[in-house]
Structure 1
Amino acid sequence: MMKFNYFLFLLISMVSFAQKGEFPTEKVDSIVKRIQLPIIPSYEINILQLGAKGDSISNNKFVFDKAMALCKKKNGGTIIVPKGVYKINGPIHFVSNVNLKIEKGAKLKFSDNPQDYPMVFTSWEGTMLYNYSPLIYAYNCSNIAISGDGTIDGEGGKIWKSFKAKEEAGKNRSREMNHNSVPLNDRKFGEGYFLRPQMIQFFNCKNILVENIRIENSPFWCLHLLKSQSITIRGISYKSLNYNNDGIDPEYSRDVLIENVTFNNGDDNVAIKAGRDHEGRANTLTPSENIIIRNCNFKGLHGVVIGSEMSAGVQNVFVENCKTVGYLKRGIYLKTNADRGGFIKNIFVRNIQLDDVEDCLYITANYHGEGSGFQSDISNVCFSDITCNKASESGIVIQGFPNKKIKNISLKNIEIKSAKNALSNENAENVLMTDVFIGKKATVPTAAK
């Protein structure tokens, strides 16, 4: 009973904060305190000791496999990758208690031959299935890290990029399997279906650290946090501009800290997801929740996105002290449609500096106008202390449904200096605006003469 009352108290508190337009700093602090960094044993192995060659030509796949096997035998350790360019014809599969340390001047350069990547249990755009292995893949692991000042290059701009034009049949097949509850063992993709693999995926893992590395040229999503918890992503940077190169995708994941990240992506910087349609709605006990994004530099398509694959629900998201470096299409973007169901609630965004965007703040329950029968609940969203230089389309957009209105939206201390369309507020209730300026601020009228 005490546990139930505690969570009920938290829920009531979050609603109260949203209604008042306040940022729940204590809640953020409690999440950060709960997140655990990985504990790595003292054993170390330098890949040069195992015969690695950083000449950008030799295949080092067997070296990384051997290093992981040695760490498993020792119950964990650090794999050191010194300066050099290491070609790897196939994926790296993690074991528990390992830190892959890529030192300054070192680059992992993965093969772009699809035949090098065997099928593994994974996910693709919100549907669980078997597909090409992510380039770096951890499944059922704990206490794992990727660190150092080196680079991971996914070689995604040639063969993998060509898959985009051929993926439609495979994508539609995966969605039909989702909607028809096809058993997982029958969801086999890989060769002939053209569904590109993620660059890095942590699946059903906990106590994760990704720190300071640079990610370039991913085939698909860059860093996918799938059904994982207690995650710290900090100090990393990107230059990954291929199709669907989302920076970070937490999905069915909780207790996530993303900080001091410099994005430069061909798609969303952070895209928070929670499964798709029928399959996602069947997993409502595993929403994406307790996600903190702070002190980041945004550049790409959208800054922070929730959805559209969010059918298990997304809650307790905190974004603060971020800014753009260059263009974004949309700054903060909450999107779902009538196929999804689920909920988006308790979203807090403050102290954001946007430059040139198409739309500054955008909330829609009718993404692409698709679907029917499963409208989503969107409530308790708080935006505060946000500036934007120019919105070439809309400053603020809120789009609900007549029979499923978006509820409890707080907009406080918002300044959008220029916008083609100032505000579109449709099918929403209890929208509170305090000190919101779109366009030139009105002056105090003078007495008529």
Structure 2
Amino acid sequence: MAYAQLSETERLQKINAIVKSIQLPNIPDYTISITSFGGNGNGSYNNKKAFDKAIKKLAKKDGGTLTVPSGTYVINGPIHLISNMNLHLEDGAVLKFGSNPTDYPLVYTSWEGTFLYNHSPLIYGNNLHDVAITGKGIIDGEAADTWLQWKPKENEDKLKSRDMNHASTPIEERIFGNGHYLRPQLVQLVNSERILIEDITLEDAPFWCLHLLKCNSVTIKGIAYDAYNKNNDGIDLEYTSNVLIENVTFSNGDDNIAIKAGRDHEGRANADTPSQNIVVRNCLFKGLHALVIGSEMSAGVKNVFVDDCKAHGYLKRGIYFKTNRDRGGYIKDIYINNITFEDTEDCFYITANYHGEGNGYNSKISDIVINNVSCKKASGTAVVIQGYKDSKVENVYLTNITVAKATNGTSVTNTKNVVIDNLIIGEEATVPTSVK
């Protein structure tokens, strides 16, 4: 059954099935405080050894909760999480990370869709199960005056990583880190399952804020952002399945939610792990773009449901699906319902020609259902859909869409079966005027 044929009952059943399948972490009933291991929240003491000791203690106990009381905890180096662990930041607790690159050892990670070894993300875990980060505290990357200075220097390494991807260079030979300029993520979990991220605030990230890479069974709820550095995406899901994102307050300098699935040759080689079965609901958007799929999506993205969200500020684009002829893969079975935007450049932008790049690997965009969306203003174009003559965007259904004011109405090219019902840009036309 095509998604456009789903009744409201069937749509809700699919959402409920995804949410029901997601498992919360099972954390042992054992709690320790960072202060018991020499932790000091005076804003100047280096707490790196205290965190390492506390986590080692949890490992001996097969897990538990590490609490961080109110205070500002400087940490010169990363926190590496373990399985069966909850890092709980109490109200008033701030983790403030140092930015000396030599304090962040090489770990297995990825950078813009390519696997490699780079400086450890500031909070990191690989091959974990049952892991949580909770509480009313703040994770502060302290990157505006430090890591951010790498942005103008990154291009050579970025291109090198993409060349390694295209050449299928063994991952163990893709060594970056010291002497290179690829900024680390603020929080990243890799190859992990049963994850809970709840109520924390993420600030001032070096690069992406929260990156889930090859993860499964993820709950993200009640978190907030104040992160306006370059490339400060809020949530990046990559090769990740069975995810609930709800009640998140975004305020970040790039994509609020970006759903990805690897880049180019490497992404297509991982086609057995698309990003799929994702529910987003009751979120408050503010940043560059609200909901993005791509541009790294070569393994495919499918079964995404977005419900009952709104924006509380300017967005360059509200809904933005982006791919090109380098990617391959697909975007399909996307269902968006009840979204309110304020000022945008473009309300919807669905393109298979991102940056005009690529050759030989068309992506397939199909089966997109967007219902009940309102937007106050589009200073660019209200609705953009761009396919290719030899790879058209197919089966897009737009119903009950209102854009109060737009410089341009629609730009729809190289498509098949785009169905529009109740699309109003500007003032709604009433009965025709008569000749007087």
TM-score by length of 1: 0.96
Residue 409 in structure 1 maps to residue 396 in structure 2:
yes
Residue 24 in structure 1 maps to residue 11 in structure 2:
yes
Q: 1:180 aligns with which of 167, 172, 191?
A: 167
| Structure 1 unmatched ranges of 5 or more | 1-11
- Aligned AA (1:88): I
- Aligned AA (2:138): T
In structure 1, the partner of 2:149 is: 162
Q: 2:313 aligns with which of 305, 326, 329?
A: 326
In structure 2, the partner of 1:265 is: 252
User: 1-side partners of 2:165 and 2:36: how far apart?
Assistant: 46
Residue 231 in structure 1 maps to residue 256 in structure 2:
no
Alpha-carbon shift at residue 423 of structure 1 (Å): 0.5
User: 1-side partners of 2:311 and 2:111: how far apart?
Assistant: 28
Contact 2:397/2:420 (CA < 8 Å) preserved in 1?
yes
In structure 2, the partner of 1:8 is: none
Counterparts of 1:369-384 in structure 2, within 5 Å, are 369-384=356-371
Alpha-carbon shift at residue 16 of structure 1 (Å): 3.1
Residue 313 in structure 1 maps to residue 307 in structure 2:
no
Q: 1:244 aligns with which of 205, 217, 231?
A: 231
Write the deviation string for residues 56-75 of structure 1: whole angstroms up to 9, x where unpaired. 11110111111111111111
Q: 1:61 aligns with which of 48, 62, 75?
A: 48
Q: 1:386 aligns with which of 373, 377, 382?
A: 373
| Secondary structure of the corresponding residue to residue 340 of structure 1 | coil
User: How many residues were matched structurally?
Assistant: 436
Counterparts of 1:201-212 in structure 2, within 5 Å, are 201-212=188-199
Write the deviation string for residues 333-369 of structure 1: whole angstroms up to 9, x where unpaired. 0000000000000011110000000000110000010
User: 1-side partners of 2:412 and 2:119: how far apart?
Assistant: 43
Residue 14 in structure 1 maps to residue 3 in structure 2:
yes
User: 2-side partners of 1:325 and 1:123: how far apart?
Assistant: 31
User: 1-side partners of 2:147 and 2:196: how far apart?
Assistant: 27
- Aligned AA (1:349): I
| Secondary structure of the corresponding residue to residue 255 of structure 2 | coil
- Aligned AA (1:231): V
Counterparts of 1:5-154 in structure 2, within 5 Å, are 12-14=1-3, 16-17=5-6, 24-154=11-141
Contact 2:263/2:297 (CA < 8 Å) preserved in 1?
yes
Contact 2:248/2:283 (CA < 8 Å) preserved in 1?
yes
User: 2-side partners of 1:22 and 1:264: how far apart?
Assistant: 33
Counterparts of 1:323-402 in structure 2, within 5 Å, are 323-402=310-389
Write the deviation string for residues 296-319 of structure 1: whole angstroms up to 9, x where unpaired. 010000000000000000001111
| Secondary structure of the corresponding residue to residue 31 of structure 1 | helix
Structure 1 vs Structure 2: percent identity of aligned residues?
57
User: 2-side partners of 1:72 and 1:299: how far apart?
Assistant: 39
Alpha-carbon shift at residue 398 of structure 1 (Å): 0.3
TM-score by length of 2: 0.99
- Aligned AA (1:14): Y
User: 1-side partners of 2:20 and 2:200: how far apart?
Assistant: 24
| Structure 2 unmatched ranges of 5 or more | none
Write the deviation string for residues 43-100 of structure 1: whole angstroms up to 9, x where unpaired. 1101111111101111101111111111111111000100000000100001100000
- Aligned AA (1:50): F
| Secondary structure of the corresponding residue to residue 109 of structure 1 | strand
- Aligned AA (1:90): G
User: 2-side partners of 1:125 and 1:259: how far apart?
Assistant: 25
- Aligned AA (1:202): L
In structure 2, the partner of 1:193 is: 180
In structure 2, the partner of 1:291 is: 278
Write the deviation string for residues 163-202 of structure 1: whole angstroms up to 9, x where unpaired. 0000011101100000000001100000111000000001
